[in-house]
Structure 1
Amino acid sequence: MRGDDLVGDGDLAAAVWPSVPEGALVLVPVGSTEQHGPHLPLSTDSVIARAVAEGAAEALTGTPVGPPLVAPVIAYGASGEHAGFPGTVSIGRAALHAVIVETARSLALWAGRVVFVNGHGGNVPTLDAAVGRLRSEGHDAVWTGCGVPDGDAHAGRTETSAMLHVAPRLVRPFASVAGDPRPLAELMPDLVARGVRAVSPSGVLGDPAGASAEQGRAIMASMVASVADRIGVGRADARGRLLVRDDTAGTGETGDAVGPTA
C-alpha cells in the first residue's frame, strides 16, 4: 500500500514522511493503563480514546478542518487512584505534563493544530495545565474529552457497553460484576483520601449489568459527534478545553472522560 493511501486513512504511525502534509490537523488520543474491574482490559481508556479520535477524524474528512491525522495513543496517564490494583501503570502528573508538552512542541515543527482527545478523567488537571502552557507559548493546541451525559463513573455500564461495541473480544463476563453505585459526588471524598480499591474492592464504580454492544454503538456515536463538532467549531477556553457549539458563557464544559474517573 502506498504512503498516500495510509495518510488517507488518517493513521500517522503507518504513514511515510513524504506523504505527511505540512500544517495538518493532528488528533492525539490520551488514555491510561489502569484497572477497569475484573471484566475490562487495562487498556480500556486508551482503546476508547483512540476509537473516538479515529471516528472524529473520519467525520471531519471533507470539512474545512480535515482531513486530520490520528497519532499513536499516549497509553500511560495519571492513574494514582488505581494504584492499589495489579496491572495499573501510572506515570503521574509531572511526567504526563512533560509528555503532552513535548509531544505538541515536536508536532508543531510540521503540524498545524494539535487536539488531544482524552479518555481518562484522572488526566484532566494535567491536560489543563499542559495545554494552557502550550497555548501561552503560542502553540495551536487544544484538548477535549470523550464524555457522555449521565455516564457512570468507572468500568460500569457506560464503558462496558462502549467496549462491547469497539473491542468485544477484550470484554470478560460481567453478569455478576458490581461496584459501589453511589454518585461520584458522594464517592469523591473517599476516592481522594483512600483510592479506588478502598471504596470498591472490585475496582468498579457503578454496575455494568445490562451493558450491550447496541448501547455501546450509540455511546460511541455520541462521543464521536461531540468531539468532531467541538473540533469543527474550534473555540477553546483559556485552558485549551474545546467549547461546545452553544457554550456562549465560555465554561469549557467537555464531558472530561467516559466517566468522571474513567
Structure 2
Amino acid sequence: MDLGTAASGEHLVGATLLVPLGACEQHGAHLALAADSLVAGAVCERVAVLLAERDPGRRVLVAPTLEYGASGEHEGFAGTVSIGTEALRLVLVELVRSARRWCGPVVLVTGHGGNAEAVAAATRRLRWEGHDVGWTSCAEPGWDAHAGRAETSLVLALAPDAVSPASAVPGATAPLPELLPRLRAGGVAAVTATGVLGDPRGASAAEGRSHLTRVAERVTAQVLAADVDEHGRLVRPAPAGVPG
C-alpha cells in the first residue's frame, strides 16, 4: 500500500514502513537527475509485494520517496541539488520518530550511496532511542558506482523515456577504491569529466529487470530476517546452504 494515498485508520497501526531515499544529482548526460529516486521507489514497491506474499500477516506501507539527499560529491555538475549529510540525518531522525508513533518496523532503503553516512548515523541514534528501524541499499556487489551499466539498465527498465542512450559515454572505470582519495578531496568532477563512474554502454532494460528482481529479493530477505549490524544496516542474508 502507498502511504501517500492511504486513508488514516487503525489498519495502518503496526504496519512495516518502507521509506525510499533518493537524490537529485547529475548522472552523466544520459540519465535523469532522479535516477536514484526512481530505483529506490521501485525497489520498495516490489519489496512490499514480496513481503505480502511471504508474510501474509504483515501489513506493509511504502512512504513517498525522499527526493533530496546528500550529494555534495556531485555538486561539480549542473542539476545537482544536495541537502547535505547533517540535514539528511536530522530529517530521517524526525521522520522516523514521527512515523513510529503509529507504525511498526521502519526500513530506510537508499538508492544513493552518498546517503549512507547520514542514514547510518540516524539509524544508530534511533535504535539507541528504542525504535525498530534498519536500513539497506539498492546497490549490489560488482556494479559500477554511478550512472554506469547497472544503473542505466535499471532506469531503462523503469522509465525508458528518462534515458538518452545516444549520450551514454564511459567515465572513470577504475575500481572505486582507487578513485576514493581523489573523490573525497575533489568530488566526482576530480576523477571524471562526464560525471560517470563506470561504463553505461551495453545497458538494457532486460538487464535492468534482472537487477531489480535481484535487489528486491535481497531486501525482502533482509527485512524478514530483521538482523542488523552495529550501524543499523540490515545484514545481507547468507546464500542458501551457506552458514550465516
- Same fold flag (TM > 0.5): yes
- What residue in structure 2 maps to residue 98 of structure 1? 90
Structure 2: distance between partners of 1:141 and 1:174: 42
1:22 to 1, 10, 13: 13
Matched, 1:39 2:35: no
CA 1:38/1:139 → structure 2, altered by over 3 Å: closer, same or farther?
Answer: same
- What residue in structure 2 maps to residue 72 of structure 1? 64
Q: Deviations along 1:3-31, whole A, 9 cap, x unmatched?
A: xxxxxxx1110111136421110000011
2:145 to 140, 150, 153: 153
Structure 2: distance between partners of 1:67 and 1:55: 14
Structure 2: distance between partners of 1:90 and 1:199: 20
Deviation of the 1:95 alpha carbon: 0.4
- What residue in structure 2 maps to residue 253 of structure 1? none
CA 1:174/1:181 → structure 2, altered by over 3 Å: closer, same or farther?
Answer: farther
Query: Which letter does structure 1 place at the counterpart of 2:26?
Result: Q
Matches within 5 A, 1:91-130: 91-130=83-122
Q: Deviations along 1:22-69, whole A, 9 cap, x unmatched?
A: 111000001111000000011000100000010100000043363310
- What residue in structure 2 maps to residue 183 of structure 1? 175
Query: Which letter does structure 1 place at the counterpart of 2:101?
Result: L
Structure 1: distance between partners of 2:59 and 2:109: 16
Structure 2: distance between partners of 1:120 and 1:224: 16
Deviation of the 1:249 alpha carbon: 10
CA 1:96/1:175 → structure 2, altered by over 3 Å: closer, same or farther?
Answer: closer
Structure 1: distance between partners of 2:217 and 2:68: 25
Matched, 1:57 2:41: no
Q: Deviations along 1:67-121, whole A, 9 cap, x unmatched?
A: 3100001111111000011110110111000110000000011100000011111
Structure 2: distance between partners of 1:49 and 1:198: 27
* Percentage of matched positions with identical amino acids: 49
Structure 2: distance between partners of 1:68 and 1:136: 24
Q: More deviation in 19-28 or 230-239?
A: 19-28
- What residue in structure 1 maps to residue 155 of structure 2? 163
- What residue in structure 2 maps to residue 216 of structure 1? 208
Unaligned 5+ runs, structure 1: 1-9, 251-262
Query: Which letter does structure 1 place at the counterpart of 2:79?
Result: G
2:2 to 11, 28, 34: 11
Structure 1: distance between partners of 2:38 and 2:209: 14
Three-state SS of the structure 2 residue aligned to 1:35 is: coil
Contact 2:37/2:111, CA 8 A, preserved across alignment:
yes
Deviation of the 1:148 alpha carbon: 1.6
2:194 to 202, 218, 225: 202
CA 1:26/1:176 → structure 2, altered by over 3 Å: closer, same or farther?
Answer: closer
Contact 1:13/1:71, CA 8 A, preserved across alignment:
yes
Structure 2: distance between partners of 1:52 and 1:136: 27
Unaligned 5+ runs, structure 2: none
RMSD over aligned Cα atoms: 1.7
Structure 1: distance between partners of 2:12 and 2:93: 22
- What residue in structure 1 maps to residue 238 of structure 2? 246
